[in-house]
Every structure is written in C-alpha cells, then in structure tokens.
Amino acid sequence: QVQLQESGPGLVKVSETLSLTCTVSGTSIKSYYWTWIRQPPGKGLEWIAYIYYSGSTKSNPSLRSRVTISVDTSNNHFSLKLNSVAAADTAVYYCARVDVNTVTYDFWGQGTLVTVSS
C-alpha cells in the first residue's frame, strides 16, 4: 500500500526558508511524479510544484521564484523548500503522487501544518 508522510518544522519565522520532506513507502519513487499542495487556513487547495524521479520539475507560476523541489531516489523521498516566507504561507502542506497526464492525485499524505510567525 502506497503511503506518504510529510515531515519538517511546524513553525518558521518570517523571511526564512520553509523545508519539508515527504517520505514514500509501499512503492519506489522512481517512475512516478510527486507533488506538493497546500491549504491555507479556511481556504482551498493550491498546487505548489511537482517533480519526476529524474529531477524534471514544474512549479506554480505564482510561487516559482521561491520554490525548490528535489528528489532523493536513494532514500525514497522528495523535498520542498520555500524561501522568504510570509504569514500568507501558513498552511497545511500535503505531498502526493500525481499522474501528470490525467492530472490525478492518487495518493496523499495526511498533511503537516506549517505556521509562519514573526
């Protein structure tokens, strides 16, 4: 059974860098695309970026200048870095597996709340 688990600090200071890791189990990270999605409190979901195991990436134009997504095939995990964070980046961050052809997110993590505070 495919499982994803987000990990990382729950509190980040304004202007610093948010760093999260998604550990994948039950399947190899190879041959799939993997993505980050977030949900600010009281708001809808927002796609952040995706990555292929080969390292090919695509990110949301509104976040592109601040986002770095990477993959570690040896440890079967992928990561997100979002720099220069502000209060508006406070959200529950989810990692998921994505079929980029059908734009389908078939397995998700439970999410992790990251609060940006001064």
Partner 1 sequence: QSALTQPASVSGSPGQSITISCTGTSSDVGSYDLVSWYQHHPGKAPKLIIYEVTKRPSGVSNRFSGSKSGNTASLTISGLQAEDESDYYCCSYAGSNIYVLFGGGTKLTVL
Binding residues for partner 1, rule: CB under 8 A, are 4, 37, 43-47, 58, 60-61, 94, 96, 102-111
Q: Which of 27, 4, 19 is nearest to 114 (CA)?
A: 19
Give the single-character DSSP code of 15. Answer: T
DSSP E strand boundaries for the chain? 3-7, 11-13, 18-25, 33-39, 46-52, 57-59, 67-72, 77-82, 91-99, 104-108, 112-117
In terms of CB distance, is 101 or 118 closer to partner 1? 101
- In single-letter form, the type of residue at position 48 comes to I
Query: Nearest approach, Cβ of 14 to partner 1 (angstroms)?
Result: 25
Shortest separation between residue 118's beta carbon and partner 1, angstroms? 27
Query: Among residues 15 and 110, whose Cβ is nearest to partner 1?
Result: 110
CB of 16 to partner 1, least distance (A): 27
Which of 73/110 has CB closer to partner 1?
110
